[in-house]
Amino acid sequence: MYVAVRAEVESVDTWREQFKTHNDLFKSQGVSIAYMGATEDNKVLAIFDTNDLDAFIKVFNDPETAEAMSNDKITGGVEMFVMDETYTP
């Protein structure tokens, strides 16, 4: 199952660096890989492949995750999207 998280950050470079320090947090969410992208106006997107959606959501809403986001210099606009449908054109 894929989950996408969008946010606004102070610095894309800081976010990319700090994001990669959260291995234990991501593993507790059942994440096997995360794809990262950013725009020039400091908006970022991470797409996570998780094998445990319930654990992902539980940990995402935990204060530990809020602290990790603070360390990543996330300034707001955090949105989570569960990718629950596919379409093949």
Instruction: List, for residues 44-87, the tens digit of each pLDDT value.
Output: 999 999 999 999 999 999 999 999 999 999 999 899 999 999 99
Handedness of CA 25, 30, 33, 38 (dihedral sign): negative
C-alpha span between 57 and 52 (Å, rounded): 9
Residue-averaged pLDDT of the chain: 97
C-alpha span between 64 and 71 (Å, rounded): 11
Nearest to 2 by CA among 49, 39, 42, 37: 49
Average pLDDT over residues 33-42: 97
Domains of the chain, with CATH numbers?
2-83 (3.30.70.100)
Average pLDDT over residues 26-51: 98
For 35, the enclosing helix (H) or strand (E) is strand 31-38
